[in-house]
Chains A and B, each alone.
Chain A
Amino acid sequence: MKSSKQFDICIVGSGAGAGPIAYELARAGFKVGVLEKGKWFKEEDFFKDEQLARHSVFRSQFKDERHTLEEPNGDGSWSSDTTSQFWGGNIVGGATNFMSAYFHRLKPQDFRLVSEYGAIKGANNVDWPISYDELEPYYAKVEQVVGVSGKVVNHPQLEPRSTKDFPFPPTAEHPVAQRFDIACKSLKLHPLPMARGILSIPFNGRLSCEYSGYCGNYGCHSGAKASSRAALLDSAVKTGHCEIVTQAKVYRLNTDESGNITSADYFDLADGDSSKRVTAKLFVVACYSIESARLLLSSTGVKHPNGIGNRYQQVGKNLHCCAGGTGHGVFKMDKLKELEAKQLKVRGPFFNRALQDWYEIDDSAVSGKPIKGGTLDFVFDPPSPTGATSSLKWQGDNLLWGTPLKQKIKSHFTQSKDFKFEVFCDWLTNDECYVSLDTQEKDRWGQNVAKVRAGFHPHDEKVAQYLVDRGVEVMKAMGAHKSWGNVFTQPTSNLVAGGCRFGDDPKTSVLDKNCRVHDCDNLYVTDGSFMPNGGSVTPTFTIYANAFRVADKMLERMRADVSLIS
């Protein structure tokens, strides 16, 4: 094995937790190396082609690597199966290439769940070691640097802001948003324009949104979507101080007798899977919660016999997903006026509405005291006509074909329009939701894969059901001809966080308040792993903000310690 590359800072992964570190440290003149196991695709590669997602072109292939997933069966027993569902985007920029980019901030109470709402039996809630106020400037920074479009509207649950409004105006809205606003006002709710990590006007070499209507899990062709790649890594590379090493699958961090990281070993997938080594002064791990925990657990050393940061068996623990559910409102075209039908059929602009009226639930029907609730996002799923059609051939348990099938498909596409909402509430951390190494299942390189045990707390279902019911009420008030909702308890594979939570006590946390591993002086974890709880929103915005915060801490340290400067 030859030592091929040397950096000041080596970052494992290139998604939301990695981009801000690379951006800030490269701009400050430090030599940054980003190790990404996938390839580097650009705007011109992102065709709106359903086949790309169907064939997992931008994700790790199941045959190469996978996860073991254990889920409760509901009768005390657990299922166990291998899955590729947790691969959200394994290319430069990671899963941020394929996010919908609903950018809600967390709220002050999310940082102090126990102090605000008290402990919940069976849940591992803790207060954060930092307050909302400490993270607020970095939310503002993300809004400007990464590019967040929106409009601040005053409402009872609005979190404090240091800036009056978003730096970019809202993205274009679908006509259904008006119908939504009227319905919400009739229910005395506060309809909120949803902030998006999508540019509404060109910025920093990126074009604004093209409104093809194919967002979400389609890569962005214009660069408007605030992926770590388009918004941060491209700029970092332009400084001349950041190198992105692609097809570099890191499998081990090497530590010395003091417990510090000396190097990272990776398989060079572009060079026959040969093993190569990178040295650096500081290391950052940010390759999605599950894989970050796996890397730490796999990296044993003299000082770290059970894996880095794992002397108190905390690595991989307190993993969380997004609890919640989804709901639908279906409008039948033949029951609408011609203009209304035409409006609802428009494809291109966004629904962009959210409700946070129940971010805290104060309803004696649910609980004697206020409890933490969540967010309802009203959204469009990215179109997937082939995926949608393929299920229509079933009528109950029987296969349908011929004219009846044709008519069913035609009706599905032309006679109705389905609007969706998604509910986000806390997936309470608990002792049955964690990552460990699967000693049986190996990946293509002979390494133990990560095993995810995905136990949930029954409290989540109660909260989620309450919110789903509210969403269905809104759909009805909008005039939907059919509406329903479902709570789910399966892991949201694209929205996993925790696993290396931060805290002041090394016995109950992996990282200190600056996201440095307690017993490994030169290692930081900056993806969603640090979060003790996810907030009742998608976590990407917060991961970005926190990574910018950690970048500042790293810069302070680099500048103060001459031994860290090359």
Chain B
Amino acid sequence: MLTDKGLKSGSNKPERVSAYSCGLNRRAFLRQTGAGAMLLGLLGAKPGVVVAADKVEAETVSSEEDFSFHAQAVIEAVQMQLFPDDGDGPSARDLNAFRYLTWALEDPDNKADGDKVFILQGVGWLEELAKSTQGSSFIKLGASEQDAVLKQISKSSAGENWLSLLLYYLLESLTLDPVYGGNTDGIGWQWLEHQPGFPRPVEGKTYLDFSSVNLNEK
């Protein structure tokens, strides 16, 4: 099999995918999307975000802060905008996307990337913006107002990164094996008519188990 590294075929920015498959981590991927390059332009507009992103870049994050009920409600609301219950296919809630997110954020690599802190800081920023432009918390807004807020933050590169990161995890909960907590009972696969391989991973044999177990004595 040839690795597709660097191919510029198609229209879906495959270099972002291939960057992942050829071993660059998502940190580098985030940089490619412009977080580093375009932060400068944000300096005046969103100082809070610049600080947040700076922290992520510097890998100095050590927060063990958890999602408050409020932060959870905001993230779940954002996820429902990103992957709504629109009558065709599972919604974020059907996919158990929030639970999957909280699980995935504890992955050692994702932790090292500072994703959880970035997502929590983004919640604060989103709330600030919702209150200043719409006069209310994001969770109390109607669907179209929520969408307007998301559209607004997507115009900044840090905001776009934040949404992109949430989508990254959300889409993982659509197609990864249910053993990882999303894709409840394979609901995502069924919708996409996707046939999983066999044998499928089981509890105790997930990638995290392989990474930690010492098989030398086998």
Distance of B11 from chain A, by nearest CB (Å): 7
Residues of B within 8 A of A401 (CB): 81-83, 150, 163, 167
A186 contacts the other chain (Cβ, under 8 Å)? no
Residues of A within 8 A of B20 (CB): 54, 387, 390
Distance of A358 from chain B, by nearest CB (Å): 17
Considering the complex, give the chain B residue whose CB is closest to the CB of A422: B2
Q: Would B6 and A382 count as touching, CB distance under 8 A? A: no
B22 contacts the other chain (Cβ, under 8 Å)? yes
B171 contacts the other chain (Cβ, under 8 Å)? yes
Pick from A39, A414, A484: contact of B193, CB under 8 Å: A414
Q: Would B207 and A49 count as touching, CB distance under 8 A? A: yes
- By secondary structure, the B interface counts as loop
Q: Would B2 and A39 count as touching, CB distance under 8 A? A: no
Residues of B within 8 A of A490 (CB): 5-6
Q: Would A390 and B82 count as touching, CB distance under 8 A? A: no
Q: Would A413 and B192 count as touching, CB distance under 8 A? A: yes
Residues of B within 8 A of A389 (CB): 171, 174-175
B39 contacts the other chain (Cβ, under 8 Å)? no
Distance of A425 from chain B, by nearest CB (Å): 12
Pick from A56, A84, A87, A347: contact of B195, CB under 8 Å: A347
Q: Which of B66-74, B122-130, B131-139, B198-206 binds A?
A: B198-206
Distance of B138 from chain A, by nearest CB (Å): 15
Pick from A51, A322, A406: contact of B180, CB under 8 Å: A51
Pick from B163, B189, B195, B205: contact of A47, CB under 8 Å: B205
Tell me which residues from 416 to 475 in chain A have a Cβ below 8 Å from any Cβ of chain B.
422, 424
Q: Which of B45-53, B113-121, B208-216 binds A?
A: B208-216
Number of interface residues of B (CB under 8 A): 66
Residues of A within 8 A of B4 (CB): 326
Give the bracket for the number of chain A residues in contact with chain B.
35 or more
Q: Would B82 and A405 count as touching, CB distance under 8 A? A: yes
A115 contacts the other chain (Cβ, under 8 Å)? no
B36 contacts the other chain (Cβ, under 8 Å)? no
A52 contacts the other chain (Cβ, under 8 Å)? yes
Q: Which of A19-27, A206-214, A273-281, A528-536 binds B?
A: A206-214
Distance of B207 from chain A, by nearest CB (Å): 4
Q: Would B211 and A55 count as touching, CB distance under 8 A? A: yes
Residues of A within 8 A of B205 (CB): 45, 47
Q: Which of A5-13, A174-182, A491-499, A506-514 binds B?
A: A491-499
Considering the complex, give the chain A residue whose CB is closest to the CB of B198: A212
Interface core residue of A85, A324, A328, A398 (most chain B CB under 10 Å): A85
Residues of A within 8 A of B11 (CB): 396
Residues of B within 8 A of A217 (CB): 1
Pick from A39, A382, A388, A495: contact of B216, CB under 8 Å: A39
Tell me the complex Cα distance, A401–B197, Å.
28
Pick from B164, B199, B211, B216: contact of A246, CB under 8 Å: B216
Q: Would A56 and B1 count as touching, CB distance under 8 A? A: no
Residues of A within 8 A of B164 (CB): 393, 399
Pick from B23, B89, B176, B201: contact of A410, CB under 8 Å: B89
Q: Would A394 and B193 count as touching, CB distance under 8 A? A: no
Residues 37-79 of chain A, each 1 if its beta carbon lies under 8 Å from chain B, else 0:
0011110010111111111111000100000000000000000
Pick from A385, A386, A493: contact of B5, CB under 8 Å: A493
Tell me which residues from 1 to 52 in chain B have a Cβ below 8 Å from any Cβ of chain A.
1-9, 11-14, 16-17, 20-25
A349 contacts the other chain (Cβ, under 8 Å)? no
Pick from A99, A246, A391, A402: contact of B1, CB under 8 Å: A99
Q: Would A218 and B197 count as touching, CB distance under 8 A? A: yes
Residues 227-245 of chain A, each 1 if its beta carbon lies under 8 Å from chain B, else 0:
0000000000000000000
Given A49-B200, A49-B207, A413-B193, do A387 and B21 touch, yes or no (CB 8 Å)? yes
Pick from B12, B163, B195, B210: contact of A52, CB under 8 Å: B210
Considering the complex, give the chain A residue whose CB is closest to the CB of B150: A401
B106 contacts the other chain (Cβ, under 8 Å)? no
Interface core residue of B2, B8, B84 (most chain A CB under 10 Å): B2
Distance of A298 from chain B, by nearest CB (Å): 23
Tell me the complex Cα distance, A214–B193, Å.
16
Q: Would B201 and A41 count as touching, CB distance under 8 A? A: no
Given A401-B150, A401-B167, do A85 and B211 touch, yes or no (CB 8 Å)? no
Tell me the complex Cα distance, A492–B22, Å.
10
Distance of A20 from chain B, by nearest CB (Å): 22
Residues of A within 8 A of B88 (CB): 403, 406-407, 410
A486 contacts the other chain (Cβ, under 8 Å)? yes
Distance of A295 from chain B, by nearest CB (Å): 22
Tell me the complex Cα distance, A85–B193, Å.
32
B154 contacts the other chain (Cβ, under 8 Å)? yes
Distance of A395 from chain B, by nearest CB (Å): 8
Tell me the complex Cα distance, A54–B107, Å.
13
Interface residues of A (CB under 8 A from B): 39-42, 45, 47-58, 62, 83-85, 87, 99-100, 210, 212-214, 216-218, 221, 246-247, 270, 322, 324, 326, 328, 345, 347, 379, 381-394, 396, 398-399, 401-403, 405-407, 409-410, 413-414, 422, 424, 484, 486, 488, 490, 492-495
Interface residues of B (CB under 8 A from A): 1-9, 11-14, 16-17, 20-25, 81-84, 86, 88-89, 109, 147, 150, 154, 160, 163-164, 167-168, 171-172, 174-177, 180, 189, 191-202, 205-207, 210-211, 214-216, 218
Closest 3 CB pairs of A and B: A48-B197, A214-B197, A413-B192
